Amino acid sequence: MVKKLPIVTMLFCTATYAAAATIAIGTASARGDLRVDGYMVKGDATLFDGTVVQTGQASAVLHLEKGVEIKLATGSRGILYRNRLVLEQGASEWTGSGSFLLEANGLHVTPSEPNSRGQISIGSGNTVQVAATTGGLRVTNEHGLLLASVHPGSPLSFGALQETTQGPIPMNLFGTLTKAEGRYYLALPKPDLGVVYEVKSEKGLDNLVSKKVEIAGTVDTSVKAAGGNASYVLVASSIKEIRPGGLSMPAKVILGTTGLGAATAVSTGIYAANQSATPASR
């Protein structure tokens, strides 16, 4: 009897893991055809951890635990987990708790306030548009670097993120250069974005203080800013003034570009995308 105990224990553990893998985490409903893990479903479907959901000509509504509601627009595809949705194609609108994460092309978007509602979509060139309809959203990269805090009326678009492992992350930013206590800072164009960078450069920056500038450089998340309310240190490789009548567009973040000219080109397309921001579904 004692010799059989390990076998019984092993069988019990196997059954436990199998049961855990089949525990439902929510439901999906659509007024049309819906693909769940590759199978065509009409009406309602049960969702499990790791379920792939794809919409066709009709949008779908996903109801998850803890009051999380996700709407997938037509022609969208995502992988659903207990604590996050990985959007691979199309657009999504969701309301959720602060613990629920939405991923798209390397961006991580989470609510920053209770009862926040947001919209996220993947456009041409793998650009990602993020908008908040109520509350606020935090946008970070996979390393936890805070890129922006998005609030209603201030949608943002992000260029495709370049895959990075460790070390400096290439970034191109637009904002106003300031100086305090001998240090230089870059505040993104709108004050409610909540992101300030300490700027370090081998060149003198006094002639650019209080001016709108365009900076190409790198951010190392392992290096902490020394003063002010800056979150990160931006080491500038190129910086120039944006003169009146020149670059004029909403706040944005461009990552993974190879040069300042490329960043400007991407920014122009992002501006057009921001002007036509619409909800993911109706």
**Domain range annotation of the chain:** 26-158, 169-274
Q: What is the pLDDT of residue 279?
A: 38
Q: What is the pLDDT of residue 160?
A: 59
pLDDT in tens, 123-178: 887 888 999 999 888 888 777 777 777 888 878 887 755 454 456 777 777 788 99
Residue 152: Cβ-neighbour burial (10 angstroms; 0-12, 13-18, 19+): middle
CA 213 to chain centre: 24
Distance of alpha carbon 148 from alpha carbon 137, whole angstroms: 8
pLDDT(28) > 80: yes
Which residues have a Cβ under 8 Å from the Cβ of 195 and sit 6 or more positions away? 146, 147, 148, 149, 187, 188, 231
Residue 11: Cβ-neighbour burial (10 angstroms; 0-12, 13-18, 19+): exposed
The highest-confidence range among 75-79, 95-99, 224-228, by mean pLDDT, is 75-79
Is 269 or 46 the better-scoring residue by pLDDT? 46
Q: Which residues of 12-21 are buried (b: 16+ CB within 10 A; e: fewer)?
A: eeeeeeeeee
pLDDT(3) > 60: no
Rg of the chain (C-alpha set): 22
CA 23 to chain centre: 28
Is 255 or 95 the better-scoring residue by pLDDT? 95
Distance of alpha carbon 261 from alpha carbon 214, whole angstroms: 11
**CATH number of 26-158, picked from 3.30.460.10, 1.20.1260.10, 3.30.565.10, 2.60.120.1440:** 2.60.120.1440
Domain 169-274 listed as CATH 1.10.730.10: no
Confidence of residue 89 (pLDDT cuts 50, 70, 90): very high
pLDDT(197) > 60: yes
- Per the document, the length of the chain is 282
pTM, to two decimals: 0.62
